[in-house]
Amino acid sequence: MPSLVIPKYQPSSINGHVEFELPNISHPSFGKATISGRFPRIQPRFSRPEVDPKIISGLISKYTKLVAECGIGTASFERAGDITTSVAAAVQFTLYWNPTLALDSKGITFYIWFLLFAWVQYVHETYVKIILMQEVEDPLPEIEGLPGFQGICKVLQRMVVAGVDFVGDADDYVEYIEPFASTFQVCFQSDDWFTCCRLDKRFSLRTYNSWRQWNAGPDVCLEGQLFVRGIRIPQKVRRHPIFKRIMTIVMSNVAWGAYQFKVNDMFGAGKDLSTAGNHPDNELVFRVLEKGEAIQDVVDDMCLLIGEELHDLIYLKQALLDIFGESENLLGFLRKWSTS
């Protein structure tokens, strides 16, 4: 694992506000509407300098070929788009979410393979076993309705190889990867739940938000980032209610500083409302279509909650340090919320 060099903690701060107005939002249930709102934003402290487009193109070309070598086709990426588009997204998100990692680092290699795997279809038990380097059936079976299952497993196996190479020892890898595997398993189970029980007006907003944070997998992405940064959070910290509250805020509202699920839901409302079936992973759509709330009232409430929880996040981070001190691992964890 790489050694951590973390500077002294610098508290986060609110840096102005984002104001928006989105016209021509439409749906048969309410006709046309213009929505507007205002919410605060956190001042980012870390970001990656602009990367030469030629370097990004080279990485996309490289991983597109490597994915093809695994034996999977476009059908395996039907939820995310074609292979090249998915690879491009994996490369760009990896670079953006890990701004302090070098482009040619082993951590970047691991994280790209992780995102590529996350965007293909999955069979839960087998994949968790592969992540934890446990024995699986050999050869793997062909599964009807899951094109390229064996190839998808090869993608995951490449991630594991990259993880072991990054850590330097297979036994240490299994120990360090366990929180990552556990969050993946919860994400899988959440997806299973939705396939047999659609979230609709029968369920409360609180239950919807709980499902949303599990299914969207922000905790999985976070655990992947902690892994590639060599940041290990002790169980005594993970069990503390302040840590759990920070994670709930991060998973349900705020991800990596500027990324906010509620913001994405508001800005993407027009597209999601116009899509057949209407996206259940958009809170605004859920509240308007399933719960019958007025669209602007929902926007106002979501903006208010963003502000409240951003402020809470700042105070909770400091409280966690007051209790456990400024250890390198804890500083590394809190530093993630200062990434632009």
**5 vs 185, more confident:** 185
Same domain, yes or no, for 102 and 222? Answer: no
Q: Is 5 part of any domain?
A: no
Across the range 25-42, mean pLDDT stands at: 90
Average pLDDT, the chain: 85
Q: Is residue 8, in this structure, part of any structural domain at all?
A: no
What was the pLDDT predicted at 145?
64
pLDDT digits (tens, 9 = 90+) for 242-251: 999 988 887 7
Q: Hunting for tokens 């992973």 — which residue is that?
A: 281
Label residues 1-25 b or e (16+ Cβ within 10 Å = b). Answer: beeeebeeeeebeeeeeeeeebeeb
Residue 109 lies in a domain: yes
Q: Residue 94: which domain range?
A: 51-168
CA Rg value for the chain: 21
pLDDT tens track for 68-99 = 888 877 766 665 567 888 899 899 989 988 88
Distance of CA 282 to the CA centre of its chain: 15
Q: Verify that 335 and 204 share a domain, yes or no.
A: yes
Give how far the C-alpha of residue 67 lies from the chain's centroid of Cα atoms, to the nearest Å: 21
**Which pLDDT does position 16 carry in this prediction?**
84
- Residue 89 and residue 220 in one domain: no
Amino acid 70: pLDDT: 87
Q: Does 233 lie in the same domain as 156?
A: no
Residue 204 sits in the same domain as residue 162: no
Confirm whether 269 is domain-assigned: yes
pLDDT at 257: 43
In a domain, 34, yes or no: no
Examine the fold and report which residue of 151, 168, 185 is the final residue of a domain before the chain moves on: 168
If pLDDT is split at 50, 70 and 90, which confidence band does 105 have? very high
pTM score, two decimals? 0.77
Q: Per the structure, how many domains does the chain have?
A: 2
Helix (H) or strand (E) holding 142: none
Q: What is the CATH number of the domain that holds 306?
A: 1.10.600.10
pLDDT exceeds 60 at position 232: yes
Percent of the chain with pLDDT over 90: 38
Section 129-151 average pLDDT: 83
Only one residue has tokens 């250890």, namely: 327
Give the Cα separation of 37 and 299 in Å (integer): 7
- Residue 277 has a pLDDT of 67
Q: How confident is the model at residue 321 (pLDDT cuts 50, 70, 90)?
A: very high
